[in-house]
Amino acid sequence: MKTISELTTFYYNKLHPTIEKLEDERKTIQKRLISFGLLYGVVVVGTAFLFFKTPQAIFFIYIAILFIAGMSYLYNYLTKTYVQKFKQEVMAPLIHEIDENLNYQPTKHLPEAHFIRSKLFASRPDIISGNDLVSGKIDDVDIAFSDLHAQRESQDEDAEDDFETIFMGLFLVADFHKNFKGETIILPDSAQKIFGNVIGHWLQANTTSHYELIKMDNIAFEKEFVVYGSDQIEARYILSHTLMQKLLEYKQRSKYPLYISFVGGKIYMAIAYYNDMFEPSVFHSLLEYKIAIQYIQTLHLALSIVEELQLNQKLWSKI
């Protein structure tokens, strides 16, 4: 597999002419959206004033719903071809450059089963959607990742059905082809940051009742992550000093919440981006596009974890 430096060079040198052409198309679409949006807004408001004879609050709700629905349809219509070109002409070549064995399927995503088996999130999704599935084998490691949006059904204050996001971002699974005796879960240490050390430890210890809270000897790591596991010894073998440092470096670069689990023979990773990484926004310049590099860094992190565990003879000598 190519290094991050090699892939970054390929992205900016080989793909830049294509990106510049798409940038011109993006600017044209942006102008059309703004122009049509202003015109559509005037039409909606004007029509509402002429025909709407209800209280003021409902009047503004009507305008908002109609405007949002219309602009959503217009955005999807105007950007559909542009997004397809970006995926075919930029992302597909980049993924192939990462490794020729990787297969890119823009309309597919990882199945729900991986999300559930990862045990990273307590809630089981009622709806799961996504796209941009990448799968294949790199250095004898089966790997697959895609954008995922997992939601659960709930009710709002008016007892009406609503959907709450459990996770939205990049989800990755790598088959390690070796079984762990126990299960190890690494989560962002948000409880301790919000509530402080004492209350944070209590919350962490009571959040995942069937796992033990595992203390690590890396202070910097414990400020960013909290570790649960069913086997204290194995969890410490898995989280070697080298691996903890790699996770810390990635977290500091990406600034996004990172979830990792070691369950069965697989490694699961979830990075909460809260947007579709492969979808280029028409309101941001493609010449400043950094998402592709974030994908490269994420893939390298996953493979470096596998490599580190493969080299960890202490871990496998005890199994």
Contact assessment for residue 137 and residue 173, using Cβ atoms and an 8 Å cutoff:
no
The verdict on 76 and 172 lying in the same domain is no
- Residue 150: per-residue pLDDT: 94
231 CB neighbour count, 10 Å cutoff = 18
- Residue 122: per-residue pLDDT: 82
The verdict on 194 and 54 lying in the same domain is no
Domain total of the chain = 2
The verdict on 110 and 123 lying in the same domain is yes
The verdict on 91 and 106 lying in the same domain is no
Query: Pick from 36, 69, 98: which residue ends a domain?
Result: 98
Q: Are strands 161-175 and 141-155 parallel, antiparallel or unpaired?
A: antiparallel
CA distance 197 to 189: 11
State mean pLDDT over 274-297: 77
pTM for the structure as a whole: 0.82
- Residue 49: per-residue pLDDT: 66
The verdict on 86 and 116 lying in the same domain is no
The verdict on 316 and 182 lying in the same domain is yes
The verdict on 192 and 294 lying in the same domain is yes
The verdict on 137 and 160 lying in the same domain is yes
More confident residue, 280 or 114: 114
The verdict on 87 and 115 lying in the same domain is no
The verdict on 92 and 135 lying in the same domain is no
Query: Pick from 44, 70, 98: which residue ends a domain?
Result: 98
Q: Find the domain containing 196 and state its range.
A: 102-319
HSE-CB for 209 with a 13 A CA cutoff: 0
- Residue 13: per-residue pLDDT: 87
Query: Pick from 67, 98, 129: which residue ends a domain?
Result: 98
- Give 182-233 pLDDT, tens digit per residue: 899 999 876 445 444 444 444 444 445 568 889 888 999 998 999 999 999 8
CA distance 238 to 235: 5
The verdict on 291 and 268 lying in the same domain is yes
